[in-house]
Amino acid sequence: MLNTTLHITNGDCTTNYLKKLQVKGKIITWREMLCEGKTLTDVGSEKFWNTRFNFLNNSYNVSKEMFINLTLKEYRSLCNTKNTKEIVLWFEHDLFCQVNMLAVISWLKKHRKGYAIFLVCSGKIKGSDKMFSLTDLSENQILEHYKNKIELTEDDIEYADYIWQLYCSVSPLRLETVLKFKQNAAFKYLVSALEIHLKRFPSVENGLNITENFILETVKNQTLSSKKQLINKLLELQEFFGFGDNQYKTAIEKLNNAFYSFNPTKLSKKGKELLVNETNFYSVLRSDNSYLGGSKKYSFLYSNASKKLLQITT
């Protein structure tokens, strides 16, 4: 039987929620974390997937079997699903989701030209200051979001693809410029998410980026008895990153010299100095193999004072 609607979700939790609600149509789960590691513009190409596997394998010990079963099988299912009346994208407001969303739209622009494409995006809810994930929504709220889904125009799709191209470029400087002057109403959380992305380059002040400073500030301000408690607290407090526990675990390991202990969690003298910009970890953390999109992470510095990126010349 022909499915009239194809749903592409941001992860398994949303997929399971839609199945529970018996939302009609075929559901495909986009299992990637394109906000980390090197990305290429040609989403779905052999070179694209080889690049992504090498990053996930080296950084997160993702095996080839796991990569094939969790990511590539879903992607192949997407490739094989062609005759649908509409495609609905389910993504959230945070950086993790917004970058994945750009990549999916870029792929759809190339491979599903002319299809009706809709977006369901969670974030702010009337009457609350909290930012909601899709699975935070009640059954009535998520169905209301679905009812009010936004149909993406050709201009919207072109815009998302253009921003994806910039995200994958060797320099983030053009992305920084475009975000100030070229916004799009269909993607109301995209600019704020990508502003967070630009702050993930090491800062001039202490060599740490926004995520690394967030980790140290959480340790300073919270009483936590273990690394696990720290990661759980980071997951609870994060508002715009959308990261998972493995991402925080990896970041904490790289900041090892900034901690005195994890039982309980305490900052070392270096860690305390970092938070007041009395020392700099740029040389400690620097790696030529670390990428954010298409850009080398340590080839640029973010100035919190001027709120601008600077390119390091060699």
Tens digits of per-residue pLDDT, 186-208? 999 999 999 999 999 999 999 99
Pick from 198, 221, 248: which residue ends a domain? 198
* pLDDT score, position 126: 82
Pick from 152, 170, 198: which residue ends a domain? 198
Q: How many domains does the chain have?
A: 2
Pick from 149, 168, 198: which residue ends a domain? 198
Residue 88 lies in a domain: yes
Domain match, 105 and 220 both: no
Domain match, 292 and 175 both: no
Q: Structure pTM?
A: 0.96
* pLDDT score, position 314: 59
Domain that holds residue 257: 210-311
Residue 204 lies in a domain: no
Measured between alpha carbons, how far is residue 306 from residues 142, 203, 214, 256 in Å? 39, 11, 19, 29
Residue 112 lies in a domain: yes
* pLDDT score, position 269: 97
Domain match, 145 and 9 both: yes
Domain match, 221 and 284 both: yes
Which residues, other chains included, contact 234 with Cβ-Cβ below 8 Å and sequence gap of 6+? Answer: 214, 215, 218, 243, 248
In whole angstroms, what is the distance from residue 280 CA to residue 161 CA?
Answer: 36
| Per-residue model confidence as pLDDT tens digits over 28-45 | 999 999 999 999 999 999
Residue 103 lies in a domain: yes
Which residues, other chains included, contact 186 with Cβ-Cβ below 8 Å and sequence gap of 6+? Answer: 119, 150, 152, 153, 156, 159
Domain match, 94 and 232 both: no
Whether 235 contacts 222, CB under 8 Å = no
Q: What is the CATH number of the domain that holds 110?
A: 3.40.1360.10
Per-10-residue mean pLDDT of the chain, 314 residues long, equals: 84 96 96 97 98 97 97 97 94 97 98 96 86 94 96 97 97 89 87 96 98 98 96 95 96 95 96 97 95 97 95 80
Domain match, 63 and 135 both: yes
Domain match, 150 and 267 both: no
Domain match, 236 and 159 both: no
